[in-house]
């Protein structure tokens, strides 16, 4: 269920945010990345469940996702703060008569 939600959100966000000429390349990267994540999760999950039990594995994976999301959000805030705000030219600031 979670993988389906991620796929839908990824595809929708890519379509809304990117131009058509860039979308194909971005989707060409996003789709294999999603499939790779599914494969890696399928390989790691049995060992993690055997080591920590079902509930423990879910707590570890949920904590990892939360940590990653917070790191991405912090990076987005830092990137937004680094973008210069354009200042109006002096001629634009003087009202026309």
pLDDT tens string 12-68: 888 888 888 888 888 888 888 888 988 998 999 999 999 999 999 999 988 988 998
pTM, entire model:
0.55
pLDDT at 1: 60
The two tokens of residue 41 are: 């999760």
Question: Quick check: is 61 in a domain?
Answer: yes
CB 23 within 8 A of CB 14: yes
Q: Which long-range contacts (CB under 8 A, 24 or more apart) does 22-30 make?
A: none
What average pLDDT does range 67-80 have in this prediction?
Answer: 78
Question: Quick check: is 66 in a domain?
Answer: yes
Which residue range forms the structural domain that includes residue 8?
A: 2-81
CB 14 within 8 A of CB 26: yes
Question: Quick check: is 96 in a domain?
Answer: no
Question: Quick check: is 93 in a domain?
Answer: no
Question: Quick check: is 86 in a domain?
Answer: no
Question: Quick check: is 11 in a domain?
Answer: yes
What average pLDDT does range 5-9 have in this prediction?
Answer: 77
Instruction: Indicate the number of domains in the chain.
Output: 1
Question: Quick check: is 27 in a domain?
Answer: yes
Q: How many other C-beta atoms are found inside a 10 Å radius of the C-beta of residue 75?
A: 10
pLDDT at 93: 56
């Amino acid at each position: 269920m979670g993988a389906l939600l991620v796929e839908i959100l990824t595809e929708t966000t890519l379509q809304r945010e990117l131009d058509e000429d860039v979308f194909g390349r971005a989707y060409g990267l996003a789709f294999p990345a999603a499939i790779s994540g599914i494969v890696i999760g399928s390989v790691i999950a049995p060992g993690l469940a055997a080591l920590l039990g079902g509930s423990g594995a879910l707590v570890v994976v949920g904590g990892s996702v939360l940590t990653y999301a917070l790191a991405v959000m912090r990076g987005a805030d830092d990137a937004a703060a680094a973008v210069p705000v354009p200042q109006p030219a002096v001629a634009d600031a003087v009202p026309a008569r």
